[in-house]
């Protein structure tokens, strides 16, 4: 697959959404779709779609459109979803339960391999098949299993210290639900899920309508 | 307060993050901060901060910086956080539990007034002080209480129908955790929390490091 060297952050930022729509189309048995058809579903323009997808080489065919399965698999490859990475989860509260029980990590490129919590009363409990381990076992576990990423579902005031510990243990990516911005080395990836910011944005949208 | 007529979406999109940092500063007893000091905390540039905040009139003072409490309260006013809106929650699963138990709705501009679930076995259960009502009572409740917004914590395949029903009942905003993009009238506000997109983005970042 031909790739342009420097793909803008804006384009790569839109790829997960393309992927999501293509999964839906495939689930509904759609085999091919035009840029116009896709743009109508996604609420964007056909030219935006052609421009975005051209960045990764010519997937579409004039007069035929895009092969849904092919395009989906190409985007999966670009996103790195096919090379499954390992992740651990820190915190075993309600947010963790919501994620572990209802969220398909593997489909998004990750294999969950362990859950840790500082509450000793939770140690040994099982969360959707995963035994909860005490946080004191984190060092040993990471040295043995070398997880690529960590999901932080812990309070703000604990997040930075745990992140620092995990960086020392070789963790290279964080999915951060802790309502705080982490200070991390440049070579460590982070995705913040700032749901509070999202609700304030809704408040603003309601206010300005 | 002087406001420019057309403030870009990019700027308003950054306001929740400013608000979050200012809350942190206030909690730590910081009374004033320069654009440089704030930019260092936020990992952005001082000129970006000055530019953004100038859109809403001159809050900062040369040589003094920003008064943290004042700036926070101005941004709260712009975001509409002080005019508390009412919200209902649809779905009483783990994600709802995580939100109801750990998330401060009021601080983000919303007062949660009801929780609904289609599972009759949950009716009457209490979630952090809120009685769970059966979804069949939704119409009556909305007609009586006129909620401004709804939090959707239900599966993708149920989300659109419930959203349509709520729009008919006068709900003007949606905080959508259903992993799907809703088709809604133009005058209805929506904020999607697409956590799957976020995890795929992390996967991509890990892949490209």
Helix/strand/coil (H/E/C) assignment for every residue in A150-204? EEECCCHHHHHHHHHHHHHCCCCEEEECCCCCCCCCCCCEEEECCHHHHHHHHHH
- For A125-148, the pLDDT digits (tens) are 999 889 999 999 999 999 999 999
> Cβ contacts (< 8 Å) between B181 and chain A: which residues?
42-43
Q: Collapse the DSSP code of A106 into the 3-class scheme (helix H, G, I; strand E, B; otherwise coil) and give the result.
A: helix
* pLDDT above 50 for A67: yes
Q: What is the pLDDT averaged over residues A104-112?
A: 93
DSSP-derived secondary structure for B41-103: HHTS-HHHHHHHHHTT----BTTTBEEHHHHHHHHHHHHT-SS-EEEEEE--SHHHHHHHHH-
Asked if B169 is an interface residue toward chain A (Cβ–Cβ < 8 A), one would say no
* pLDDT above 50 for A2: no
For residue A163, which of B202, A151, A131 has the smallest C-alpha distance?
Answer: A151
Inter-chain touch A197–B17, beta carbons under 8 Å? yes
Q: Are B163 and B182 in contact (CB under 8 A)?
A: yes
- CA A202/CA A208 separation, integer angstroms: 10
Strand partners, B175: B151, B191
Q: What is the pLDDT averaged over residues A54-69?
A: 78
CB atoms within 10 A of CB A116: 24
> Cβ contacts (< 8 Å) between B83 and chain A: which residues?
207
Q: Confidence band (pLDDT; 50, 70, 90) for A12? A: confident
Which stretches within chain A are classed as H helix? 9-27, 35-42, 46-54, 68-79, 94-102, 138-145, 156-168, 195-208
Model pLDDT, residue B197: 93
Model pLDDT, residue B1: 45
* pLDDT above 60 for A4: no
Model pLDDT, residue A13: 87
What ipTM does this complex have?
Answer: 0.91
- Report the percent of chain A where pLDDT is more than 70: 95
Higher pLDDT, A118 or B62: A118
Asked if B55 is an interface residue toward chain A (Cβ–Cβ < 8 A), one would say no
> Distance (Å) from the C-alpha of residue B53 to the closest C-alpha of chain A?
16
Residue A206 makes CB contacts below 8 A (sequence gap 6+) with: B80, B85, B148, B149, B172, B173, B189
For residue A176, which of B58, B33, B201 has the smallest C-alpha distance?
Answer: B201
Q: What is the pLDDT averaged over residues A91-111?
A: 91
> Distance (Å) from the C-alpha of residue A137 to the closest C-alpha of chain B?
25
Q: How far is CA B75 from the centre of its chain?
A: 14
Give this prediction's pTM: 0.87
Per-residue pLDDT of chain B (209 residues; tens, 9 = 90+): 444 456 788 888 899 999 999 999 999 999 999 999 999 999 899 999 988 888 776 566 777 889 999 999 999 999 999 899 999 999 999 889 989 988 889 999 999 999 999 999 999 999 988 999 999 999 999 999 999 999 999 999 999 999 999 999 999 999 999 988 999 999 999 999 999 999 999 999 998 87
If you ran DSSP here, which 8-state letter would residue B120 be given? G
If you ran DSSP here, which 8-state letter would residue A121 be given? G
Asked if A175 is an interface residue toward chain B (Cβ–Cβ < 8 A), one would say yes
Model pLDDT, residue A177: 95
Mutation for testing the B interface, residue in A202, A204, A205 having most B CBs under 10 Å: A202
* pLDDT above 60 for A111: yes
CB atoms within 10 A of CB B145: 11
């Amino acid at each position: 697959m031909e790739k342009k060297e420097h793909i803008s952050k804006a384009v790569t930022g839109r790829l997960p959404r393309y992927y999501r729509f293509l999964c839906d189309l495939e689930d509904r048995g759609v085999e091919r779709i035009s840029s116009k058809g896709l743009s109508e579903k996604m609420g964007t323009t056909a030219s935006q779609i052609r421009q975005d997808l051209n960045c990764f080489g010519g997937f579409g065919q004039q007069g035929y459109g895009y092969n849904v399965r092919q395009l989906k698999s190409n985007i999966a490859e670009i996103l790195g979803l096919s090379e499954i990475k390992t992740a651990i989860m820190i915190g075993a509260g309600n947010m963790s339960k919501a994620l572990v029980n209802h969220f398909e990590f593997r489909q998004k490129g990750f294999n969950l391999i362990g859950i840790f919590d500082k509450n000793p009363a939770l140690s040994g409990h099982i969360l959707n098949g995963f035994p909860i381990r005490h946080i004191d076992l984190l060092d040993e576990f990471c040295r043995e299993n070398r997880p690529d990423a960590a999901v932080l579902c812990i309070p703000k005031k604990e997040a930075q210290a745990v992140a620092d510990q995990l960086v020392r243990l070789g963790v290279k990516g964080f999915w951060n639900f802790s309502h705080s911005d982490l200070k991390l080395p440049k070579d460590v990836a982070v995705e913040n899920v700032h749901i509070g910011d999202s609700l304030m944005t809704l408040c603003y949208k309601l206010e300005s309508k």
